[in-house]
Amino acid sequence: MVTILEHAQRSLSRASRLCWPAVISLGCANISAPEPEHERVGQLAQAVTTADPVAVCNQDPRVWSNLVPLSVCAGARVFFDETFSGNGRACGTCHPAANNYTLDPPFIAALAQSNPNDPLFVAENPALNLSTLETADLHGPFALIKENVDGFEDPAHKFVSRAVSHTLSLSLTTSRDPDDGTSAAFAERTGWGGDGAPGDGSLRSFIDGAITQHYPKDVSRTAGSSFRVATNTEKDELLSFQRALGRTNELNLEQVTLTDAGASVGKAAFLDPLQGRCNECHNNAGANFRLTGKNRNFNTGTFRAPSGFSQMPDGSFLFDGGFGGQGLSSPNLVTVTGQPDAFGDGSFSPPPLVEAADTGPFFHTHAFGDNSDATKGIEGAVSFYATNFFLESPAAHELDARFGAPVNVGPVIGQIGRFLRVLNAAFNLSIADQRLEASRTLNVAYWAYRDDIQKGLIRLASEEIDDAIRVLQNGADDLHPAQRASLQDAQALLAQASAATDPGVRRDRTVSAKTLVVNAKAGLGTNLTFQLGTGNLMF
């Protein structure tokens, strides 16, 4: 049997001997070389996973090179591969790495055409008898999934339809603000309502609810037969991975300077409490309340603009009331029908805004933005704060009382959108740079060994560059055209790198593309510095 050492040595025959100690230190365990990573970035699990994540990761050159800690790698394998003896879905089914860890209408439509048997669509397979697992909203214009957030007493009727939250930068967004009046029974802010996790309400416990909701292979949802529950080790691994996604620091917008004049105007409006007022609830374009630095639930009136709802057996409609609907026997919140038609208090958990411009449509029902292209609609999200939904909401009234006047976002919607686009493009390019550097590092250290990982990182970097190009392009023709052109050149180089059979060619094209990416980001402004989690290198 070929050992890991022998396999690596054969692949390393053309590489510098300076790289050999990293391989030799692995020892000579008599185990075969690992199977290649998914050839399609973000491919979803089709069957129950039996491999030990730690054993798999002990054979991963990203771990050998100290690019990714073992715990983060193991958590990624659980996230993308583990189906928990259920219907074939994994966390990555609804949170694919190649689509910013979220779902949107174009992604779902393309997946349905290319792979109609993907686990995302298990409810549509008549042989599985899971028709109540999802609704038609999944394929609808808002790409919503079914959530029994208020309990499983009547799962076929008592549910809400919500967008899929991305999982970027969770280490910065889940600290509960105890001053927002919500129940302390939920330790952290998870999901759109801030109460998405069962048990202690922590991110670590989120998988318990996800398995029960999305993974069962029969509608009884019985642990042990419909699925298996996550072990404590798996929960720890998942937590390590999820907290290592996206960025791990907040910007200081006061120190950020932007090259584009319109984006600079947008930044000033974003920070101005009498104009955009955005910074009060999204401090430094994150997800936290400025006065506390923690994630505070708000009733901003979004529940009055629903696009997904259910119908109870008596014909009444049920809408999404946000936080705190569990344990209630009947609807307690009035949304749009003039009588109690939702469970909850109307408040939702703010997402971070650095990540926003390429993760639309927006809000918990994808009700604002552009459903045809995730990069087109950030101005639609900003425009919500000029509607009566927001201006007449409890959150708006509280802010009005603090500042003595209503927000005046209307005249600066375009500029704020422009500002958020530049922030997002800088974030995209930072992750692209991180992934390209990792691919280069693996190439130099291990030459052609596990080149599927090198190519996977290149493809994911290319996705980020594509997002940056489209985010800027959809802002305006004059929004960083030189940087967009340079990034197009980077894309061409990366296409050559992915296609290259010679590792030396792949390395050289990767390095050239990385230089273009770094220079393009520098052209956006200064102090757009992101500390990035190692989970970004997994898929």
What percent of the chain lies above the pLDDT cut of 70? 91
Q: Does residue 475 register a pLDDT over 70? A: yes
Among 167, 116, 168, 111, CA closest to 143: 111
Torsion of CA 223, 190, 159, 362, to 10 degrees: -140
Note the pLDDT of residue 60.
Answer: 98
Helix axes 503-522, 451-473, angle to 10 degrees: 30
The answer to whether 281 and 125 have CB atoms below 8 angstroms apart is no
DSSP character for 536?
A: G
Task: Output the CA angle 342-347-348, nearest 5 degrees.
Answer: 110
Confidence of residue 188 (pLDDT cuts 50, 70, 90): very high
Q: Does residue 40 register a pLDDT over 70? A: no
Note the pLDDT of residue 33.
Answer: 38
Residues 247-263 have pLDDT tens digits of 999 999 999 999 999 99
Residues 297-323 have pLDDT tens digits of 999 999 998 777 898 888 999 999 999
* Cα–Cα dist 217/517, whole Å: 44
* Cα–Cα dist 356/106, whole Å: 17
Confidence of residue 295 (pLDDT cuts 50, 70, 90): very high
Helices (H), 220-260: 232-242
Average the pLDDT over 31-58 and give the result: 56
Residues 349-369 have pLDDT tens digits of 999 999 999 999 999 999 999
Residues 130-177 have pLDDT tens digits of 999 999 999 999 999 999 999 999 999 999 999 999 999 999 999 999
Residue 411's Cβ-count burial label (10 Å; 0-12, 13-18, 19+) is exposed
Task: Output the CA angle 433-438-442, nearest 5 degrees.
Answer: 150
- As given in the structure block, the two tokens for residue 258 are 């932007």
* Cα–Cα dist 406/417, whole Å: 20
Q: Does residue 387 register a pLDDT over 80? A: yes
Sign of CA dihedral 444, 446, 451, 454: negative
Note the pLDDT of residue 308.
Answer: 78
* Cα–Cα dist 383/475, whole Å: 15
Helix axes 413-446, 481-499, angle to 10 degrees: 30
Per-position b or e across 34-73, b if 16+ CB within 10 A of its CB:
beebbeebbbbbeeebeeebeebbbbbbbbbbebbbbbbb
Average the pLDDT over 432-448 and give the result: 98
Q: Does residue 10 register a pLDDT over 90? A: no
Q: Does residue 500 register a pLDDT over 70? A: yes
Note the pLDDT of residue 309.
Answer: 87
The radius of gyration computed from the CA coordinates of the chain, to the nearest angstrom, equals 23
Q: Does residue 483 register a pLDDT over 60? A: yes
Note the pLDDT of residue 50.
Answer: 62
Q: Does residue 48 register a pLDDT over 60? A: no
Sign of CA dihedral 52, 54, 59, 60: positive
Helix axes 413-446, 451-473, angle to 10 degrees: 160
3 state DSSP class of 526: strand
Q: Which of 81-90, 305-314, 391-400, 522-531 has the lowest mean pLDDT?
A: 305-314
Give me the residues paired with residue 223 across strands.
227
Torsion of CA 197, 203, 207, 210, to 10 degrees: 40
What is the overall mean pLDDT for the chain? 91
